[in-house]
Amino acid sequence: MSASPSPPIRLASEDVIINAPMSYAGSAQRILRLRRLAHSPGPTVAITILAIVLVLLAWALVTVWYFFWGLWLVPYRVLRRGARKRKAEALRHRELMGTIQGSAAASAVALVTATTSERVLLSAPPRDESHIRIDSNEREQALATLRSHYLAGRLTEDEFDERVEHAHAARTRGDLETLMFDLPALPAGTDGSADV
């Protein structure tokens, strides 16, 4: 008895549409959401045809709207688009933080157990190396790690730029650790150090 795989769960940030409702792309994206109502092939085709007809009607309306009002509202629409984009980024950030916090809470007991058992086995306390000065290779490796986190979407452009400035000014390992305190460790070979 094999169960059919369920479709992946859509995140709320995937449903945020940045384009304005009275734009060609925005109206089409909103209307094409209707296709999600169908759960079998027959209704899917009918709903898709209906959605295409509605998109064409919406585009005719958008064209008329642009002709009469669109040019007057360009500054307003640019501001609204920026607000919608920031809202989508904030939603993605909350989802990512929720995922990180959920997985961190689930593994907290294992982490505490592992660290306490290692410390019991070791006779000497762990050595604090945060005061040790770094060389250019360590600094470049930290920059490559930050670049990987930025490309993965964990850092915004402003956060990335700020941390790169601090990495260039870093003098000790502790300085570099403060740049990475809220970022997960990268799997081996994905820190981008080969690119440097």
Residue range 33-85, pLDDT digits in tens: 877 777 777 788 888 888 899 999 998 988 887 777 766 666 666 667 777 77
Choice among 19-23, 64-68, 188-192 with the minimum mean pLDDT: 188-192
Does the pLDDT at position 111 exceed 70? no
* List of residues 6+ apart from 184 with CB closer than 8 A: 100, 154
Residue-wise pLDDT tens digits, 154-175: 888 888 898 889 888 888 888 8
Please report, for the chain, the start and end positions of each structural domain, with discontinuous segments joined by +: 10-121, 130-196
pLDDT value, residue 57: 94
Of residues 173, 183, 8, 48, the one with CA closest to residue 104: 183
Of residues 184, 149, 153, the one with CA closest to residue 164: 149
Name residue 172's beta-bridge partners: 133
Q: How far apart are CA 117 and CA 105, in angstroms?
A: 19
* List of residues 6+ apart from 148 with CB closer than 8 A: 186, 190, 191, 192
